[in-house]
Amino acid sequence: MADEGVGSEGISKISDVLSGSLNGKRARVRGWAYRARASNNLAFIVIRDSSGIIQCAFKKDSVPADVFDKAKGIYVESSLWAEGTVREDSRAPGGFELTCDNIGVICLGEAFPIAKDQSTEFLLDTRHLWLRSQKLTNVMKARYYMLGLLREFFDKEGFFEVAPPIITKAGCEGGSTLFEVNYFGDKAYLTQSSQLYAEIYITALEKVYVLAPSFRAEPSRTVRHLAEYWHLEPEMAFYSNAMNMELQEKMIAYVANNLASRHSDIVKACGQDPAYLASIKAPFERIPYTKAIEIVNANGGKMAWGEDFGADEEALLTKGKSMPVFVHNFPKKIKSFYMRPDPENPETVLNSDMIAPFGHGEIIGGSERIWEYDYLLQRIREENLDVKNYQWYLDLRKYGSVPHSGFGLGIERLVKWMLNLDHIRDAIPFPRTINRVYP
């Protein structure tokens, strides 16, 4: 099967060929056949590698017969290398073509199962093959750049990245969405959020963040819910929720602006306008929960005080806006046990959700945390949580407790909004949803 293929000696990256620096010179590129078509006298293979795609042309009367036969026999997605002379050609994708006289087939394979116009379900079943598509390749590159920018941002802000456990006994966001794990005969859960553990670290490192998967046994079939998603969770000692919001908007603008300036080609290839991302500037509008309800209702919604926003309400709230907004001071009764009530309005908590525009909805949830022992114990009891699973969390309020705040950013929600994707499943390589855990 294999012709050649180990090592990189003598191989050019396709992006180097497309840069023009090899014009007129010989080059060998290696990768996968993105497109392949042949007539009696001419074979065209578009080869892709991780850096781009290039058209390779084989003319029957100018190459050895066995080379032409191999070129003609290539399937889409066969792996191969091709060698020839780089020529500028305005008709070729990328502006350069390789006029080839040699080819090596690494794995010819079989006819590729994915052709044009496949159903969404089929593409999800063949995700392990569909991930090679240009669309998903570009999204995964953009996602990687965004994660890099987030880490860069927190480095500059003096944060430490820390590692949480994934298996835990302490639920964070309510019992109904916990995935249970049989832990050597004992009952444990996959973490819903690393927040409670991030709160431990602030007593040593002050400003920390976790970037890890969170799990939600969420029975919702929506374009923005995953059962397993990547969660960025910063936690900061001595921060109020007002400071928390300032950090969030600064972070979002940093990622958006730098993604636009450093990776505009990828942003465009994903279907987003880099100018939009470049225009995102702090501060974002701050809307108290009560006012947000009025806006939703004025835009045609039907919400009563005490209800939570669904996707429709979030879309109504951001109608006509192109920047994210904060909704703050939610009713205590619909929020998690750890959120600190607002001393000026104790029926509400010192929290905020960041809502992205254009129907993308909530991307961040954050709050100031209760840091008084007695009150936290009371809230844990009120929510019928098993106190013994939270004893360590309560301990933090006994020994050197300090005011603190933090937030959780859903990475796939961020990617979906920033690249303007229709569905959250395309923001992660292997989406886990209520009816899918394959491949």
Binding site for Mg ion (CB under 5 A): 365
Contact between 269 and 134 under an 8 Å Cβ cutoff? The reply is yes
Q: Are strands 79-88 and 26-38 parallel, antiparallel or unpaired?
A: antiparallel
Build a one-symbol-per-residue string for 402-431: x at contacts with ligand 4AD by CB under 6 A, - elsewhere: ----xxx-x-xx------------------
Of 362, 380, 390, 431, the residue at the interface with ligand 4AD (CB under 6 A) is: 362
195 forms part of the interface with ligand 4AD (CB under 6 A): yes
313 forms part of the interface with ligand 4AD (CB under 6 A): no
Residue 406 contact among ligand 4AD, Mg ion, none, beta carbon within 5 to 8 Å by kind: ligand 4AD
| CB of 36 or CB of 409, closer to Mg ion | 409
Q: Rounded CA gap, 385 and 170, in Å?
A: 9
172 forms part of the interface with ligand 4AD (CB under 6 A): yes
Burial letters for 252-264: b for 16+ Cβ neighbours within 10 Å, e otherwise? bbbbbbbbbeebb
| CB of 231 or CB of 332, closer to ligand 4AD | 231
Binding piece for ligand 4AD, criterion CB under 6 A, among 48-56, 153-161, 227-235, 300-308: 227-235
- Measured CA to CA in angstroms, residue 431 lies from 63, 192, 230, 437 at distances of 45, 17, 11, 8
- Give the single-character DSSP code of 323: S
364 forms part of the interface with ligand 4AD (CB under 6 A): yes
| CB of 210 or CB of 270, closer to ligand 4AD | 210
Of 164, 274, 301, 365, the residue at the interface with ligand 4AD (CB under 6 A) is: 365
- CA proximity to 129, closest of 76, 81, 82: 76
Residue 407 contact among Mg ion, ligand 4AD, none, beta carbon within 5 to 8 Å by kind: ligand 4AD
Q: Are strands 186-190 and 207-215 parallel, antiparallel or unpaired?
A: unpaired
Tokens of 181: 């794990």
Residue 77 contact among Mg ion, ligand 4AD, none, beta carbon within 5 to 8 Å by kind: none
Q: In what order do the strands lie in the sheet with 361-368?
A: 160-161, 207-215, 228-237, 404-410, 361-368, 351-356, 325-328, 285-288
Residue 263 contact among Mg ion, ligand 4AD, none, beta carbon within 5 to 8 Å by kind: none
Q: Are strands 325-328 and 351-356 parallel, antiparallel or unpaired?
A: antiparallel
Which residues bind to ligand 4AD, rule: CB under 6 A?
172-173, 193, 195, 216, 218, 225-226, 229, 231, 233, 362-366, 406-408, 410, 412-413
